[in-house]
Every structure is written in C-alpha cells, then in structure tokens.
Amino acid sequence: MDFVVRIQVEVVEIRILIEGKTYEAAGAAEAEKLLKQRGAFAIMAGGQPRDLSFISQARADGEVEGLTFGSKEGRDIYRHSTAHILAHAVRELFPDARFAIGPAIEDGFYYDFDVPAPFTPEDLDAIEKRMLEIIKRDSPFVRREMKRGEALEMFGRMGETYKTELLESMQDDTVSIYEEGGFTDLCRGPHVPSAGAIKAVKLLSVAGAYWRGDEKRKMLQRIYGTAFSSASELKKHLERLEEIKKRDHRKLGRELDLFSMNEEVGPGLILWHPNGAIIRKTIEDFWREEHLKAGYKLLYSPHMARLDLWKTSGHWDFYRENMYSPMKVEEVEYEIKPMNCPFHIAVYKSGLKSYRELPVRYAELGTVYRFERSGVLHGLMRVRGFTQDDAHIFAREDQIGEEIKNILDFTLFILNTFGFEDYDIYLSTRPEKYVGTEESWELATGALKAALEHKGLKYEVDPGEGVFYGPKIDIKVKDSLGRAWQCSTIQVDFNNPERFDVTYRGEDGRQQRPIMIHRALMGSLERFFGILIEHYAGAFPLWLTPVQVEVLTIAERHIDFARQVADNLRREGIRVEENFDNEKIGYKIRQSAVRKVPYSVIIGDKEVEERGTALSIRKRNGQSFGPFTLSALIDLLKEEIKTRR
C-alpha cells in the first residue's frame, strides 16, 4: 500500500494521505509511527528513496511517499536489507569471509563472498538459521556518513579489499555506511528501520560469480535468496519456483528429445534433434507464409562478410565486444555476421528504386553469431549462434507511421498465435553513445510514440535504452507463469541509409534518402523456442507438437490394422508415431503421456473388428472419448491444427 505524506512545518501537524483518506500526525515521530502501522518501512522524498527516519528532515513544501512491499522500490529496499542480514550471518559463522556486493534483484537478492572453501548446502541451512536469529534480535539499521578517505582507512583495517576497491572507484567525497547489530557494511541504502521488519526469508542456492563479472578476476561465492512480507507469500513464491524448475527448457529439452549442446561442438551452439527440428520447421513455415501474405519478400544472406562492411555499418565501432575476431581470406579480413541488416541493404542497392516501389520489405530467418562469455550462456536463452526472424523495411518519411502501425499489428498477431496475449511495451530513447542528429532521433522517437498511441497500446518510456542508430519499441511477452521475456523489437534507423548511401528516385526525379525500419517479431528463434517450451511446460498445442498422434496396440494381432490407421493419418499430413511394442497397454499410454503426445489411438479387438468405424481415443490429460470413425478423427485433428488452438 503506497501513500503520500504532506508535512506542514508551520502548523506542526503532518497531513498523511492514505488511499484518499486523510490522517493527521502531530510531528515527525507520530508520522513515522503511523507510517509503520500502515506497512511503510521507507519513504520516497525528492524523487529519492530514503530511510523512514528521514521524514524528520522532509521539507514543508515536499511530498513524501510511503514505500511498502507493494511497490517495486519498497521490495528492493526490503530485499537489499535482507542481503545485509545475510552478510551479517556469514560474518558470524565464517569470520574469514570477505564481502563484495549484495544487491536486490528481481524476486530476491544475492551477496558475493570471498571464502576459503565453497559453501555447501549444509552451510546454507546454517546461514539461514542464523539470519532468523539476527531478525529476531531486531537490531536497528543505523546510517552514518563519513569522508571517503576515512571509509577507505576503516575498511582497509578490516581487510575488506573488495569494499576498498569499490570506494576507490567512487567520485563522492562523502559515503554512507550502515550498522546493524555490530555488523558494518558500505551501502548507499536505504534500509528497513530494523532487522525485525523482515518477516519471511529463504536462501535458495549458491553459485560461482567472478568479481565485477570479469573472468580474469577471482571467482566468488554468490548466495541467492528471496524475502517476502509474509510467510504465505513466501510459500506461494517457493511453489512457483518449483513449477519453474519443472518447466526448465533444458530439462524438458532432454526429456522430450528436442535439442542438445555438446562440448565437442562448442558451448552456446545448439543441436536440433528431430523432435525439435519439426517444431522449428512448423514455426518457420508459419512465419514465411504470414510474411508473404503481409507483402514481405524473403531473402537469404551469407554467414560472413568483409570486415569493411561492419565498419561502414558502425557495428565495428559500437558493437565490437559482441563480435568475434576477424579471419583472413586471401589477405582480406572477414567477419562472421552478428547482424543481417548490411546484407539487406546490399540487396536493396543491387538495383535502382523509385518512390513508387516503396515501402520495400525484406525478411529473413538469418543465423547470426555473437560473442557471449561462457558464464552467461544458458540453454536456448543465451547462445552464441542463433537464428533471428529479421526484417528491414525501406520507406519514405511519409510512410513511417503507417508501417510502424502495421508492424505492431503483425507482431501482436504472431505473438497471440503462439499463445502470448499479455505483454509489456517499452519505448527506448537515445543512449549516451549514438550516431545521427538529435533532430532525426526526435523524429524517429515521435513516429514510434504516435503509432503506439494510435493503437491505444499502453507503454513505458525506457530512457537511454535505444540502440546506437535509433530509438526502438520493445515488447516483452508474459508466459503462463507471469514471467516477462524480451522478444519483439521495432527500430527506426536514419543512420544506415546515410552510411551506405541508400537512395530512391523521388517524384521530382532527384535521389532521396529512405528511412530504414529494423524489426524482429520473435527475436532469436532459439530463445523463442525455449520460452515456448516453458510457457507450455512441453505440452505444445497440436499444430506445434512434434508427434500429434500415437497409435498404440493392445496385442500383436492388432499390428496390421494399427499400421493401416497410422498410414492413413500420415497421408493426411498428421505427424504420427507407432508403438507396437510387446508391452502392456497401460504402460504404453503412460509413456505417451510422459512424451506429451496430444492424442493416442488405441487399437484392440473391437477396433479391428469395426475396421476404423469405432476408434478409441485418449488425450494426454487422461480424458478418453469416442468412438470415432477414422474420417471423423482426421477432420477433428485437421480443424484443431488449422485454427492453431
């Protein structure tokens, strides 16, 4: 529950507004007490989060917002305070530990430690138990400010080399520290008033993490945890984590034989198995068909190009850390491609274009390669080689608005078809490092904003998160567990047409510069597939699933007829597998359900006798129905596939 506090110094009383209700407090002490009663453990003053005690310093003409666990800022403060308690517990149990950083993260927190030996699961249990003891002590968090030099000297005496390194990188003359129950930490704050404000905490895991993310630096021990404002909320979250674990695409990828990675091939490079490959083909076929309907022309481009191409595009200057080292071919340097856009520009420039031909829409499922450190690789979600569903539109300035609206419609259609109907939209503006004029950036940003507003789509502005050549719209889909995933992006680019001297002949006969729109609907095909696996928990809708029907026999005498049924289904374009093994039918049905096959057709004496006029059908959820004629079953399957339910 968030609310506003107004302080009227000249009349002594403080007026507190809580969800439209007015409360009066006689002075800061009473206001602080009332805020605590209403669940606030910090405040927002002057646009900055502050400790609750700061209310006594609030200006008479300022507004103070009470921060509770219900707000993102409040949750971050709550969890960062819990990370501080984690560090306190480690100090008491492991006196030789040295301390790095302990921020709040989405749904939790972590703290990095330098310890002589890695933490064990038993260590985590002991640390969590000690955290609960510290919370019970309920010592206050006390903020102190000191000169940076004094702090350097203090943490130097304590042997806290990571804290001193952090201090050395700071520019401020004055820094803040927090003390709680005898434990001191370097921290900007704010914190909850005391340790007892933390109601429910759980340590989740431990992992290695390089100091400052640099693989050349020391590997630290990172303890992850989470904290909630009540035990019931924590329980729900832990249940959700268990569900996430069950849906892990790496686990399901193995169980359903969809894909794998191999150290001999190389980390971050995906091997698509037959089951995964048929799903990928289905996605690609749908993608191509819809793009052709939408007026796009399909392209294929090489996997590498001369290094000079990437210098012209600006990638070599702005994106080099994500690119691989160039290779020499006949003394000429070549670069494996991190993007498809320069190739699409080359296709556009292969012939003269008139204003009548614009917009020109090129689309490609183009495989690109980007350097990702081994520590951040994660299944299909973070890889080194992936296929991007890329498209580039070359348009006149007067066409941009309509094209962006069309792309938004197309994007949402594609996402909805795959079962994503909830999403967050962000408008990302000019970053610090950029190319082009401020004028062109304002024009491009305005076009994106106008299209969003015309479509009535809610969005947030994400300041400074545009790409170096232009602003963008990012769409994050929410899966069945409510998690947000970055997929779709729409970017307006005035820069590359200039760099590559891209033109068209205008109505007046003069050469004019088109505007380029970059867009991806699914983003990385690998990542999108990983999201789909977790969204559906591997139980894909019929149109996507690798095996749509499995034909099962009860006994060996049923095989000949069962094979006829399977062949008939296959001829109708249904993806079928046969299980004629000498196993009990109950076992075969269970195996089919484990493999998440949508439909099983069970063939026994009755089905053979009826010759396809009374088939028994079982769905993967355990529901049995029928009898069905073979032709009725085919019609049912085709309709479900056609509607992509």
Cβ count within 10 A of residue 73:
18
Q: Are 176 and 189 in contact (CB under 8 A)?
A: yes
Q: How far is the C-alpha of 437 from the C-alpha of 474, rounded, in Å?
A: 22
Closest by Cα among 645, 345, 631, 601 to 469: 345
Q: Are 557 and 602 in contact (CB under 8 A)?
A: no
Cβ count within 10 A of residue 434:
19
341 is catalytic: yes
Q: How far is the C-alpha of 415 from the C-alpha of 409, rounded, in Å?
A: 10
Catalytic residue among 163, 392, 430, 527: 392
518 is catalytic: yes
378 is catalytic: no
388 is catalytic: yes
Cα-based distances in Å from 320 to 18, 274, 372, 375, 616: 51, 35, 12, 19, 60
Query: Is 227 in a helix, a strand, or coil?
Result: strand
Amino acid at 59: R
Q: How far is the C-alpha of 477 from the C-alpha of 421, rounded, in Å?
A: 8
Q: How far is the C-alpha of 190 from the C-alpha of 645, rounded, in Å?
A: 49
Catalytic residue among 370, 384, 430, 535: 370
Q: How far is the C-alpha of 557 from the C-alpha of 518, rounded, in Å?
A: 59
Query: Is 597 in a helix, a strand, or coil?
Result: coil
390 is catalytic: yes
Catalytic residue among 280, 337, 472, 596: 472
Catalytic residue among 88, 280, 430, 518: 518
Report the Cα 344 to chain-centroid distance in Å: 28
Catalytic residue among 389, 390, 474, 479: 390
Q: Are 515 and 494 in contact (CB under 8 A)?
A: yes
Closest by Cα among 317, 83, 316, 60 to 180: 83
Report the Cα 488 to chain-centroid distance in Å: 11
Please name the residue that has the structure tokens 């979600």. 381
The Cα angle at residue 538 between residues 532 and 541, in degrees rounded to 5: 75
Cα-based distances in Å from 364 to 284, 492, 643: 10, 18, 25
Catalytic residue among 143, 185, 337, 341: 341
Catalytic residue among 221, 388, 399, 491: 388
Report the Cα 277 to chain-centroid distance in Å: 23
Closest by Cα among 529, 632, 580, 604 to 252: 529
Report the Cα 75 to chain-centroid distance in Å: 20
Q: Which residues are catalytic?
A: 341, 370, 388, 390, 392, 472, 518
